[in-house]
Structure 1
Amino acid sequence: MNPFEQLDERFKTLHKPTARLDHLYDGCRWAEGPAYFPAHRTLVWSDIPNNRILRYDETTAQVGVFRHPSNYSNGNTVDPQGRLVSAEHGERRVTRTEHDGTITVLADSYDGKRLNSPNDVVVRSDGTVYFTDPSYGIEGYYEGFAAEPEQAGQHLFRISPHGGIEIAADDMQRPNGLAFSPDERVLYVSDTGNKTMRAYDVADDGTLSGSREFARCTAGGFDGFRLDEQGHIWSSAGDGVHVLHPDGTLIGKVRVPEGVANVQWGGYKRNRLYICATQSLYAILLPVRGAKTM
């Protein structure tokens, strides 16, 4: 069965109708936050309610537990030095796993008050960390621990390479997934509060400006997403993966039988799209490669 739905002629070069959607693993309660390590060809992703991070080995197709407990980690990414950076609901913090396995806390508070529940995270090539901080992880016990928010709002934060933290954007209801354009000049952020995606211009010093609505989701809401080398956005949605042209037009879909939460590029050519979808991990091979800035 062809998993692709073409809505625009510009989608034609981005998929192969003969490609199949591979179902790699099930047994999750809420699969999220995939991150890929090219050096050993493994993908890690969060199973938030089960309080664990799982690991898929491309070379053997085996799945094992990478970390348990994971402090109800959600989003994960790999920094330019090849270290895992994670957003944790449980401890309400952003951490980095060093090469020796030790954990470094990058942020757990702002202005003397605890963060809400860091959700997703990206790292710019200069080491600047951006993360979203909605309150999903403290609104009950399913994905963390119920607590009253201490922050005045739900913001996008920026951590400088030297460790200072500040609010990068405060004009979203529930900032969620985020990713850079291939040249790192634009930062895209999904706002699950109103089912939109916003775009921000990124200055050399990391500050953001030019906030604008980039796209509006037509099925469910945007959550996590990644870009390919050509600047197309491959985003989670309620009926699969939505593919957005750099001008914001929805040009195609990858149909998935479960609601999708996040995606990540992998494979030795960086053209295998991994898909975290509710209970399962899927993957599909594409004729395009993911952007290097992930």
Structure 2
Amino acid sequence: MKPYPEHLLPIDGRFADLVHPMTRLERIVEGCTWTEGPVWFGDHRCLIFSDIPSDRMLRWSEAEGTSVFRAPSGYANGNTRDGAGRLISCRHGMRDVARTEHDGSITILARDFGGGRLNSPNDVTTSRDGAVWFTDPSYGILSNFEGYRAEPEQEARNVFRIAPDGTLGAVIQDFAQPNGLCFSPDERVLYVAESGSSHDADVPSVIRRFDVEGARVAGGEIFAEIDTGFPDGMRCDVHGNLWSSAWDGVHCLSPEGDLLGKILVPERVSNLCFGGPRGNTIFITATRSVYRIVVEVTGA
């Protein structure tokens, strides 16, 4: 196995095909409070991400550096883009999922379910059929740090699906605290992070795997266990490898759930996304900073 620098930890020989031993980890943003929700806008060559406790979203580009994208942001957390290129955000403070239209106006996609307000939508992804999938743990209402303290109005911490016609359904209901989520490249598998160990040591720090066919979800077996802290945001590459956040960095897992290696980060990692000019840069949100590293594979 090739020699690796301190910020890379190969565990399986397959890691060498995914991360070059000479690639470097670079801090591109610092001075934030708690960064989250990175999403790459290739048409604008910029990264948008959340600084949740500061109630703002920031924009970073190679040419212009860091600037404020939106403030206040409604204590936005996770972000993604839909098939039309519009920004979709989970907002703790508003307890909703909102879409930014091309003209800058805001459309609320989900706010209530079953007669009660959502907890605090956390992370979000979309599927090719136009549906929006998001997790709804209670982190944003547990304190005033990332939102507004409040009593939950939902009986469970669900994974929701917003159908293309706007219908909201709870598709997974047995998590302690569902967090990051993403699809496999063929969208037949949905991965969901369980981060309930943040407040209950008896909850396993695992990523679960669900079989998906349209709006139907089945399975839910453990795909992998995170050995440091708990999983948060995650993304798949084009080969189906899953790149997951953890407290010590980014863990790279094979489609079978084998831990291939780690990108070690000196701050606690919350989320990540693929982007950059060639789609093979991983942008990593981690506590007060944002990092990037170029890898040998592109995002799905």
| TM-score range for the pair, normalised by the shorter chain length | over 0.9
In structure 2, which of residues 211, 216, 237 is the aligned counterpart of residue 228 of structure 1? 237
User: How many Å apart are 1:182 and its aligned residue?
Assistant: 0.4
| Partner SS for 1:213 | strand
User: How many Å apart are 1:10 and its aligned residue?
Assistant: 1.4
Task: Work out whether 1:17 is the aligned partner of 2:21.
Answer: yes
Counterpart Cα distance in 2 of 1:283 and 1:259: 14
The equivalent residue for 1:258 is 267
Tell me the amino acid that sits aligned with residue 267 of structure 1: G
Report Cα offsets for 1:88-117 as digits up to 9, x if no partner: 000000000000000000000001210000
Asked if the contact 1:3–1:17 (Cα under 8 Å) also holds between the matched residues in 2, the reply is no
The equivalent residue for 1:213 is 222
TM-score, structure 2 normalization: 0.95
Residues 21, 221 of structure 1: alpha-carbon distance in 2 compared, 3 angstrom cutoff? same
TM-score, structure 1 normalization: 0.97
Q: Once superposed, which parts of structure 1, at least 4 consecutive aligned residues long, lie more than 3 Å away?
A: none
The equivalent residue for 1:49 is 53
Tell me the amino acid that sits aligned with residue 195 of structure 2: T
Task: Work out whether 1:201 is the aligned partner of 2:211.
Answer: yes
Counterpart Cα distance in 1 of 2:102 and 2:41: 12
Map residues 117-266 of structure 1 onto 2, 5 A cutoff: 117-193=120-196, 194-203=204-213, 205-266=214-275
The equivalent residue for 2:201 is none
Counterpart Cα distance in 1 of 2:74 and 2:275: 25
Asked if the contact 1:92–1:115 (Cα under 8 Å) also holds between the matched residues in 2, the reply is yes
In structure 1, which of residues 273, 285, 292 is the aligned counterpart of residue 294 of structure 2? 285
Asked if the contact 2:251–2:261 (Cα under 8 Å) also holds between the matched residues in 1, the reply is yes
Asked if the contact 1:51–1:68 (Cα under 8 Å) also holds between the matched residues in 2, the reply is yes
Counterpart Cα distance in 2 of 1:28 and 1:53: 11
The equivalent residue for 1:6 is 10
| Partner SS for 2:180 | strand
Counterpart Cα distance in 1 of 2:298 and 2:99: 26
Counterpart Cα distance in 2 of 1:195 and 1:61: 38
Report Cα offsets for 1:220-273 as digits up to 9, x if no partner: 110001011111111100101001111111110001000100000011110000
Counterpart Cα distance in 2 of 1:18 and 1:213: 33
User: How many Å apart are 1:68 and its aligned residue?
Assistant: 0.1
In structure 1, which of residues 53, 71, 91 is the aligned counterpart of residue 94 of structure 2? 91
Structure 1 alignment gaps of length 5 or more:
none
Paired-residue identity, %: 50
User: How many Å apart are 1:206 and its aligned residue?
Assistant: 2.1
Task: Work out whether 1:268 is the aligned partner of 2:266.
Answer: no
Between Structure 1 and Structure 2, how many residues are aligned?
Answer: 289
Structure 2 alignment gaps of length 5 or more:
197-203
Counterpart Cα distance in 2 of 1:210 and 1:275: 29
User: How many Å apart are 1:24 and its aligned residue?
Assistant: 0.2
Task: Work out whether 1:30 is the aligned partner of 2:34.
Answer: yes
The equivalent residue for 2:200 is none
User: How many Å apart are 1:2 and its aligned residue?
Assistant: 4.2
